[in-house]
Amino acid sequence: ETGVTQSPTHLIKTRGQQVTLRCSSQSGHNTVSWYQQALGQGPQFIFQYYREEENGRGNFPPRFSGLQFPNYSSELNVNALELDDSALYLCASSVQGRGNEKLFFGSGTQLSVL
């Protein structure tokens, strides 16, 4: 186990709703990254947080937003949910800096949008 915990494990929402996913990073890690994994595909980078600020973003619209807290935990918020947002959302923690590119993933939150 990596020590990265995510909640909830499963979630069902309807189109147009908003959702908040949570992540606690591994002890000693100061950076959190979020990835979206559609069924049968590899994870896609959403964004990364370091020192409570966004530190890189993938090709996701602004309705995907995040937060990082002083204890390095993080939230992913998605507004105006669309059917295509149905996916496994993965959180990964790491330590910022060269030589620390290895990401440690949680088990993810499976989001279904109906």
Partner 1 sequence: GESVGLHLPTLSVQEGDNSIINCAYSNSASDYFIWYKQESGKGPQFIIDIRSNMDKRQGQRVTVLLNKTVKHLSLQIAATQPGDSAVYFCAEKPGGYNKLIFGAGTRLAVHP
User: Rounded CA gap, 79 and 112, in Å?
Assistant: 14
Q: Does 103 sit near partner 1 (CB under 8 A)? A: yes
Q: Does 20 sit near partner 1 (CB under 8 A)? A: no
Site for partner 1 in 70-89 (CB under 8 A): none
Q: Does 55 sit near partner 1 (CB under 8 A)? A: yes
99 CB-contact burial (10 Å; exposed 0-12 / middle 13-18 / buried 19+): exposed
CB of 67 to partner 1, least distance (A): 17
Share in percent of the chain as helix, strand, coil (round to 5): 5, 50, 45
Neighbours of 108 (CB within 10 A): 21
Q: Does 42 sit near partner 1 (CB under 8 A)? A: yes
CB of 17 to partner 1, least distance (A): 25
CB of 31 to partner 1, least distance (A): 8
DSSP state at residue 96: S
Hey, is 43 helix, strand or coil? coil
Closer by beta carbon to partner 1, 17 or else 46: 46
Tokens of 110: 């499976």
Q: Does 44 sit near partner 1 (CB under 8 A)? A: yes
- Residues near partner 1, by CB under 8 A: 2, 4, 33, 35, 40-45, 48, 50, 55-56, 58, 90, 92, 101-108
